[in-house]
Amino acid sequence: MNIGIVGIGGYVPEKRMTNHDFEKFLDTSDEWITKMTGIKERRFAAPDEDTSDMAVRAAERAIEDAGIDKNEIDMVLVATSTGDHRFPSVACQLQERLGLRQVPAMDQLAACTGFIYSMVTAQQFIQTGVCKYVLVVGAEKLSKIADMTDRNTAILFGDGAAAVVMGQVGEGHGIKDFQLGSDGTGGEYLYDRKEDHMLAMNGREVFKFAVRIMGDMAQKTVSEAGLEPDDIDMFIPHQANIRIMESSRQRLGIDKEKMSVTVDRYGNTSAASIPLSLLHELEKGTVKEGSIIVLVGFGGGLTYGAITIVYGK
């Protein structure tokens, strides 16, 4: 059975937070932020707009794009680190707000790798025949856990959501290989502080880990799929930092034009970054029916993962 993406949708808030906006209250500059991260702006959700609100809008668009009835959805998976509440899960909120049947629904916490983890989880449920269609959402409101007094982390993160419907696809399409892993010894490098639940990060150590693991996972999934780097039409890394992304692209050995870059417009949206980038490339026409794409990410945990997939129904 070939399992892949049959529908996709996304949503980003209206408010743009530019680098110049941060200059007003932090000791930083547009030039420095752009040079170090590649970010020019990011979106911030409104005070009354939470993770589930963005997830609903992305999910509705994905279901519409899939051309299926919402009652055909057999499971809801949401990748997020910033749910509205500790519980109920965003997935359960989606099940109710979308008016779905009382299907299984759960959040998956793998930080920025969460969307890849959730895609693979969906694949397993469909492959075994338990589900026909699974709704997979990556959604984050990172602005609510970003320490706006810390110039090293506040500038990095943005809000947004994107969703896919996964199901059986045609011959030659779908997921060809996936790689998942974790290294809990690095958990201390990226975490939420107990005292105020704000995000904290050892940027140097996270950078070192990401540069190595993103390139390694990209190479491994391409090789295990029986492909060569020249076969890849689009490389979609987690949009954390342009320097990390460039390093992994070079390690994989593909042309610069084949790497998706949305970090400049959205910043790091964690679990939403990979599907938002995929949607961006689809809208541009750089990813289309039959395109071979590689998704790769890393995140708090530390977690990491990669997928090689042939796009199309």
Exactly one of 19, 92, 241, 268 is catalytic; which is it?
Answer: 268
Query: Helix, strand, coil shares of the chain as percentages rounded to 5?
Result: 40, 25, 35
| Rounded alpha-carbon distances, angstroms, from residue 156 to 22, 151, 207, 219 | 11, 9, 13, 27
- Minimal CA–CA distance to 88: which of 75, 105, 109, 101? 105
Alpha-carbon gap, residue 165 to 66, rounded angstroms? 7
Length of the chain: 313
- Catalytic annotation present for 173: no
Q: Which one-letter amino acid corresponds to residue 106? A: M
- Catalytic annotation present for 241: no
Q: Give ∠ CA 51-55-39 in degrees, rounded to 5.
A: 70
Plot region of 28 (φ>0 → left; ψ -120 to 50 → alpha; else → beta) = beta
Exactly one of 19, 92, 238, 280 is catalytic; which is it?
Answer: 238
Cα 39 versus chain centre, distance: 16
- Catalytic annotation present for 280: no
Alpha-carbon gap, residue 18 to 145, rounded angstroms? 18
Exactly one of 112, 131, 173, 280 is catalytic; which is it?
Answer: 112
Q: Is the Cβ–Cβ distance between 294 and 227 less than 8 Å? A: no
Residues that are catalytic: 112, 238, 268
